[in-house]
Chains A and B, each alone.
Chain A
């Protein structure tokens, strides 16, 4: 059968098993939209801004592990998608973005809505393709999905000139079984001698820490990590991107590490004699000053990406390959040397960690204070959300203090439940990503914990939620300011609050939500908190926007002392340092 370029493109996506495509139409994409109209296998979700489309696809990908798919038009449609592509790139999220382009013969003429999308997106994609002829569309789509989902995952752009989707020119269509890219060969199996060196180091450690990041989640290696921990009983910390890969309520869990990590996690890393980095990349929010990072530790690094290893912190032992395969190999090897495992040896270390935790650990019982003498603490709001959702929800977040409080006080027992922009730190991510998650898992509770600053960056998507009936729960931790910026100004600029307040211009969020057909709830006092949040969760069929007014003067602690600090140098409260 012969079909046109637009249909080849859409049929290829259907062949890839795409269920949702997030997008926004425009001139250069009109032929493609016509193909979407003529099929039923895949649903198009019309967002309100292309940034929303990329974040929604990204949320879908993070929650399911399947690639998110986006369709935008040329020029402004393409440039609006850039922030979302960069967000996915920084967190290695599989995504395929199809951008319309002006007709081939107009390229380079500054035609209407022409932007060099390949050029603009080059530094923030894993790879990109320009479609050169209709006969290649199917092969390009196959390769794009292969690249996006293999090795270290990431976003791939396919730029499609409009004439190549012309419905009047017909071609043979056979979707290829395999993508054979001769120059691309993502690493496969870990090397045996590295595995056995790693096992030697594990067996010899006295003060070990497992430091697991987002790569462990991408590689679906949570079970293997938990198995490893069963075998050796090491303390585990997770990065912001790794939360949930080891149970947040697990016995050996130290909490998150890094900039706003727990005291015990940062202290354990600093004093460790062995750090096992699993799918983590030692970014500056983790290491603080690299020269002062974990001075006594030997480092084993598991990663699929050669360029992540010894980039910031020199690895003593590097195990390349899919983290899942590497951990399997380690576990097998350890099982064969089971009699050499000595868990007893670790008890002084576990004892030391318990002491750190007792001394300066986070207080997870702030929610018990329901007195109205004090304003609502944002931490307590998150704790209530955790209680009322029984710790089982998918939680998306934005960027700022509310994000850190969510990461610190919502315990994730499963991977892929905590969805946030860790690498790029993109305000505006929370609401659209929650849409993607809710579409993927309509029966599950999906929560967005946001701030009044961040939510306004993609607030237009409230309309999309209304169109597709997406009953997510939005908790707006409203501190009347760009709180995280304000915190830095308090700490580093003698409290000079430059441009962090909206003065009296904030909308009435309850009224705003209601105007889109949603439910709004406003909470201003501790005594209303538990009940208000419970009420939100009792509403199953509607989006609920809960606007929670919290103490505007709270800071996030602990916080690493910078510049020149190590991981043991932390602010523990206002004016209180380790």
Chain B
């Protein structure tokens, strides 16, 4: 087991963060650390806008960073479970990214 970093881009809506945190507890995963900020500089996320055909407005989306210590198989489960949360736009670990349901084999965030 090693410590891993997860990055999420998600809608900044009431209760959205609770769903992410709740998911870790419900599924028996542990959070080592968590950091959340509204995204102000959209430059690194233009590809998401292009991909989804949308334009982010200031204050609409947040970036979350979560550190957790787990094995490979569980990491994959966590990513897939987070991907299912309706308000999550994209989630990645070191090797892969789910961009709304679609898996890419690289860390795009």
Contacts and interface: CB of A to CB of B under 8 A. Distances in A.
Interface in B11-50: 11, 14-15, 18-19, 22, 26
A123 B22 contact: yes
Given A182-B54, A306-B83, A130 B14 contact: yes
A305 B86 contact: no
B77 A182 contact: no
B101 interface: yes
Contacts of B76: 310
B93 to A, nearest CB: 14
Contacts of B15: 118, 122, 128, 130
A187 B99 CA distance: 12
Contacts of A563: none
Interface residues of A, number: 22
A204 B23 CA distance: 40
A183 B101 CA distance: 9
B49 to A, nearest CB: 10
A181 B15 CA distance: 17
Interface in A297-312: 305-307, 310-311
B83 A307 contact: yes
B84 interface: yes
Contact of A182 (B73, B84, B89, B98): B89
A310 B26 CA distance: 19
B52 interface: yes
B86 A122 contact: no
Given A123-B26, A183-B11, A186-B101, A311 B89 contact: no
A307 B77 contact: yes
A127 to B, nearest CB: 4
Contacts of A182: 52, 54, 89
Contacts, number: 49
Contact of A306 (B11, B14, B88, B103): B103
Given A119-B18, A122-B22, A184-B86, A307 B80 contact: yes
A401 to B, nearest CB: 31
A311 B22 contact: no
B19 A183 contact: no
Contacts of B6: none
Contacts of B18: 119, 122
A183 B89 contact: yes
A403 B67 CA distance: 44
Interface in B43-80: 52, 54, 73, 76-77, 80
* CB-CB nearest 9 A-B residue pairs: A307-B80, A185-B100, A127-B86, A183-B89, A306-B80, A123-B26, A185-B101, A184-B86, A182-B54
Given A122-B15, A306-B83, A307-B81, 13 more contacts: A122-B18, A122-B19, A126-B86, A152-B84, A182-B54, A182-B89, A183-B11, A183-B87, A184-B86, A184-B100, A306-B101, A307-B77, A307-B84
Interface of A: 118-119, 122-123, 126-128, 130, 147, 152, 181-187, 305-307, 310-311
8 contacts: A152-B84, A181-B86, A183-B11, A183-B87, A183-B89, A305-B84, A306-B84, A307-B83
